[in-house]
Amino acid sequence: MTTETTEIIIFDDVMAKLAEFKEANANIVYDVTDPQGMKDCKSHISSLRKFKTSIATVHKEAKKEALEYGRALDALKNKYTAEVVEMIDLQKAPLDEIEAEKQAQIDADVKRHAEEEERRQAELEAKAKAYEEMQAKEAKEKH
């Protein structure tokens, strides 16, 4: 069902009544200088306002139905999407496990490398300190 079709069906009665009001409105000229003419004009305006309100009511009801339909569509989409996500998660779990193992190995390698660097740095610092002490000792012995 297209939007045009829906619009026509929803507003069929409104369109018929609107056509009546348009025809009447085009052919009516009130003598607002006469008390009866003024009363008739106000009555006609009141009828138009009531009709305007009825258009809003039809719209409100149609929109309520459309919103309910939209919410039902959203609920179904969410349900079906959740089911697909469950299937994805099921199939992806082994891949995630492999990736986690790889990352754990990388982390372990990085940690081991850092520890080796710290050990080498400590060895270099110890050698440098020993060298400085030996230099200082030799300098004392020369004096």
In tens digits, what is the pLDDT along the chain, a chain of 143 residues?
555 555 568 888 999 999 999 999 999 999 999 999 999 999 999 999 999 999 999 999 989 999 999 999 999 999 999 999 999 999 999 999 999 999 999 999 999 999 999 999 999 999 999 999 999 888 888 87
Q: Cα Rg for the chain, rounded, in angstroms? A: 44
CA-CA distance, 27 to 49, in Å (whole number)?
19
Report yes or no: 9 and 2 within 8 Å, Cβ to Cβ. Answer: no
CA-CA distance, 20 to 35, in Å (whole number)?
25
The total of other beta-carbon atoms located within 10 Å of residue 51's CB is 14
CA-CA distance, 47 to 34, in Å (whole number)?
20
pLDDT computed for residue 128 by the predictor: 93
Which amino acid, one-letter code, is at 125? E
pLDDT computed for residue 11 by the predictor: 87
Per the structure block, which two tokens stand in for 1? 């069902």
pLDDT computed for residue 140 by the predictor: 84
DSSP three-state, residue 2: coil
DSSP state of 30: -
| Cα-based torsion angle of the residue sequence 79, 81, 83, 87 in order, rounded to the nearest 10 degrees | -170
